[in-house]
Amino acid sequence: MEVVLDFSLEIEGYNEIINEEEVKEYIYEVLNDEFESEKPVYISVALVGNEEIQRINRDFREKDRPTDVISFAYHETEDYMIGPYDTLGDIIISLERVEEQCNEYNHSFRREFFYVLTHGMLHLLGYDHIEEEDKKEMRAREEEILGKFGHTRD
């Protein structure tokens, strides 16, 4: 499956920590395992700071606070076939929030980043955690994917 990824690192200070090629490879591998499409798949990932994700959270979700990840799943709408692409959606991650959470949960930055990325990707693929049973299923799938790539809890 062909994956077209629009990747942007929009916050300074994380260039040494985030390896764009590794992130792209991870996304490709997860999508290859989790999703089938006859068309090329498009996904965008933006790595931002707390201020930007708070603005997005406020404007689109009416929650005026920073969060770790926001996903806009296009398959939840009728407009996901855009041009030649099967458009999965957008993932926005606050690297500042990821850093705060890795300290809160005593994880490495790397583990927390890949957890948040996986969480966002699963939302694009239709997973949810509103109902308790769905939450258990999503958490189990997250841990399974993270374990496959060696991103286990420290």
User: Annotated binding site for Zn(2+): which residue ranges?
Assistant: 119, 123, 129
| Cα–Cα distance measured from residue 107 to residue 84, given in angstroms and rounded to the nearest whole number | 39
**3-state SS class at 80:** coil
Give yes or no for a contact between 23 and 117, defined as CB atoms under 8 angstroms apart.
yes
Handedness of CA 76, 80, 85, 86 (dihedral sign): positive
| Cα–Cα distance measured from residue 143 to residue 139, given in angstroms and rounded to the nearest whole number | 6
Strands (E), the chain: 3-9, 41-48, 69-73, 81-82, 85-94
Total Cβ atoms within 10 A of residue 9: 16
- What residue numbers does the annotated binding site cover? 119, 123, 129
